């Protein structure tokens, strides 16, 4: 039996019956379904402010530029804490980091309900961003620990699939609660309390090492260990150099920039499309909730489809560079053309349809969360994932502000949509340069 670095271990696995040899458990998939739920809740909490913003803006009497500041406040601390969050996951392991982060962001989400000014809301969003930051790097590390090379695309899309699913459910649930109770504050409290309960669930179920999980059987544990041992045998030996050496490689820069351009499109849609559909397309709160659900649920379905295609293609012997460059390039091209079309169609139905197509293909790039495990060793995948998400959330900080200023200055969303299209082209370029075929010799 080997551990995740391919060395001998004395960890014991609970006794199992002989059927285990042909019937491995599926604990790793249950862990990633739990991560899907956590990221879904993560994005419900984020989307709650975007959905409630038209009402909050009237209550607090704030303009578009201030709205952009509030929407971007979350991403300031979220981006700054990405690399520290990845380092925490590497040092203290993902289980405790995920549990504490989930409890923390639930607390700040609920606290947002007590805000009675724009600046108070900014403070709670700063706290929300800092506490949510470690969840993705820790999830990426779980992908490296629990998944094999032919499963990481599906693991990545389950991890990241919570983003569009949470945006979809957040739009529907928060809009429904606001319409039912005429209270955005109540929706914040409900979301926060639910998040904290899920943090306790994460601590109860997740484990940092497959062999330590109480419900894994010998067949699954050995399957994971053997796959990792084979993978490690093909990797270059560790040099003991600083993790910063990764930034000597073009693939790492393109991974970070590609994720930044992906987030420029996705976070732009997440933060400003509710306002766009309300102000430009004339949707009321109920129609807005339904339309946003359709758009972001299409993104969730697309993400799962992309992961299935990638892993099945890999299982049939496809080369990683061919698989990922083809899928990422195709997805970026279709998403870019679709979002360009939004600027020219006339009806709300056509706009929502094109935005749904955009998100369906854009979310294939959730497979980026397999890249840290592809390029880095399991011991450093949390760090590399944190670097990637730090770069990605530079877009989260800047895009809401840029869009707010563009719309306030021009009185139109046309140039904002052109910004998203440019980001789609840049995503295409970065995704087709990365070398997905080998671990980096660091």
Domains of the chain: 26-431 (1.20.1250.20)
For residue 320, which of 251, 420, 392, 222 has the smallest C-alpha distance? 251
CA distances from 160 to 1, 61, 303, 304 (A): 31, 35, 8, 9
Q: Which residue has the tokens 């006794």?
A: 15
pLDDT per residue, tens digit, the chain (442 aa), is: 444 344 333 334 444 444 445 578 999 999 999 999 998 888 777 777 877 888 888 888 888 778 878 877 887 888 889 889 888 888 888 999 999 999 998 999 999 888 888 889 999 999 999 999 899 889 988 998 999 888 988 998 898 888 888 877 776 777 777 777 778 888 888 888 989 999 999 999 999 999 999 999 999 999 999 988 887 777 666 656 667 788 899 999 999 999 999 999 998 888 788 888 888 888 877 788 788 889 989 999 999 999 999 989 988 889 999 999 999 999 999 999 999 999 999 899 999 999 999 999 999 999 998 898 888 877 788 888 889 989 988 887 788 888 888 988 998 899 999 999 999 999 999 999 999 987 787 6
d(CA 306, CA 142): 20
Task: Please give the model's pTM, rounded to 2 decimal places.
Answer: 0.76
**What are the strands, taking DSSP E only, across 15-68?**
none
302 token code pair:
């697309």
Give the number of other CB atoms < 10 A from CB of residue 250: 11
Per DSSP, the three-state class of 380 is coil
Q: Which residue has the tokens 């671990």?
A: 439
Virtual CA dihedral for 299, 301, 305, 307, nearest 10 degrees? 70
Per DSSP, the three-state class of 279 is helix
């Amino acid at each position: 039996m080997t551990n995740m670095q391919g060395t001998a271990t004395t960890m014991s696995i609970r006794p199992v019956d002989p059927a285990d040899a042909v019937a491995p458990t599926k604990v790793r998939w249950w862990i990633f379904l739990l991560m899907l739920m956590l990221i879904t809740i993560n994005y419900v909490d984020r989307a709650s402010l975007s959905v409630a913003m038209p009402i909050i803006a009237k209550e607090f009497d704030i303009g578009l530029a201030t709205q952009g500041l509030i929407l971007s406040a979350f991403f300031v601390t979220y981006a700054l804490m990405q690399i520290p969050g990845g380092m925490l996951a590497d040092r203290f392991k993902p289980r405790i980091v995920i549990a504490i982060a989930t409890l923390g962001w639930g607390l700040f989400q609920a606290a947002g309900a007590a805000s009675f000014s724009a600046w108070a809301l900014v403070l709670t969003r700063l706290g929300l961003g800092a506490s949510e930051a470690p969840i993705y790097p820790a999830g990426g590390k779980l992908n490296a620990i629990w998944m094999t090379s032919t499963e990481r695309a599906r693991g990545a899309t389950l991890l990241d699939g919570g983003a569009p699913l949470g945006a979809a459910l957040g739009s529907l649930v928060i809009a429904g609660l606001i319409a039912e109770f005429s209270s955005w504050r109540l929706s914040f409290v409900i979301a926060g309390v639910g998040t904290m309960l899920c943090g306790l669930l994460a601590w109860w179920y997740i484990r940092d090492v497959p062999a330590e999980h109480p419900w894994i059987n010998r067949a699954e544990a050995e399957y994971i260990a053997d796959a990792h041992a084979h993978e490690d045998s093909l990797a270059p030996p560790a040099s003991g150099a600083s993790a910063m050496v990764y930034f000597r490689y073009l693939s790492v820069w393109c991974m970070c920039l590609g994720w930044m351009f992906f987030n420029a499109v996705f976070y732009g849609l997440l933060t400003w499309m509710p306002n766009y559909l309300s102000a430009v397309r004339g949707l009321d709160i109920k129609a807005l909730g339904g339309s946003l659900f359709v758009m972001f649920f299409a993104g969730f379905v697309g993400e799962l489809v992309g992961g299935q295609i990638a892993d099945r293609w890999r299982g049939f012997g496809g080369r990683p560079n061919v698989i990922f460059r083809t899928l990422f390039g195709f997805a970026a091209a279709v998403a870019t053309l679709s979002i360009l079309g939004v600027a020219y169609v006339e009806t709300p139905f056509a706009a929502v349809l094109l935005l749904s197509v955009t998100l369906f293909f854009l979310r294939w790039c959730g497979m980026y969360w397999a890249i840290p495990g592809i390029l880095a060793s399991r011991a450093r995948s949390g760090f590399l994932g944190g670097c990637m998400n730090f770069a990605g959330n530079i877009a989260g900080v800047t895009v809401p502000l840029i869009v707010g200023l563009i719309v306030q200055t021009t009185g139109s969303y046309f140039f904002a949509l052109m910004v998203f299209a440019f980001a789609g082209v840049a995503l295409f370029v970065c995704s087709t340069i990365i070398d997905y075929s080998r671990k980096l010799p660091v």
